[in-house]
Amino acid sequence: MTDSDFLNSTRTFYNAIAEDYAALFQDELANRPLERALLGVFAELVDGSGVGGDGLVADLGCGPGRTTGRLASLGLNVFGLDLSESMLTIARRENPGLRFEQGSMLELDIPDGTLAGALSFYSSIHTPVDQLPALFAEFHRVLAPGAPLFVAFQAGDEHRHYDRPWGHPVALTFQRRRPEDMAALLTAAGFALVSRTVREPDPALDETSPQAFLIARKPAARG
């Protein structure tokens, strides 16, 4: 599969299911206290990073913008980016005061070393494993020295394939990763790991795999 193939299939899938997906996960963070706490930790790391300027933070693969809105409520100057036009329509509708842009995480239209933080909240799960080094290198490029990165994903070895969700004629595979493998890739891209958290699946949330959360930091420039 080429870069354009997986990007197109991901965009097509989420364009088709956007409204159903957004309705299903309407109160997603309300039922996930650990995730809310870790987002708070991330926000504090952004505030304490010492990055100058306007402290801009990117929610990369923002979907319907729920996490973007949460970060904004924590006081961050945040914008969202996503492949799917339909997801962005929902994000703008639900967060009229925030900025949302269409684009690929692999080719960010962001100058080098300018972001005060970046979040990839379950958005790397459709990136082929051989493209993850390039993805994390791109995250590293746009972050300022000292800025944090938060990556969330489902943990495990077995992928989960969704075919015709809600009756839509689309299909996509959700790829699970081992936290230790993702941590190693982040380290290889130049990040320093700050924390590694794994939560057991919650049957009440219809989860079948553990949830993993890695916070890393681009090392501060040496004086």
Q: Which two tokens stand for residue 16?
A: 């088709």
DSSP string, 35-103: HHHHHHHHHHHHHTS---TT-EEEEET-TTSHHHHHHHHTT-EEEEEES-HHHHHHHHHH-TTSEEEE-
> What is the CATH number that goes with domain 3-217?
3.40.50.150
Across 137-145, average pLDDT: 97
Across 107-130, average pLDDT: 95
* Whole-prediction pTM: 0.93
- Domain boundaries defined on the chain: 3-217
Query: What's residue 51's pLDDT?
Result: 75
Across 137-157, average pLDDT: 97
Confidence of residue 3 (pLDDT cuts 50, 70, 90): low
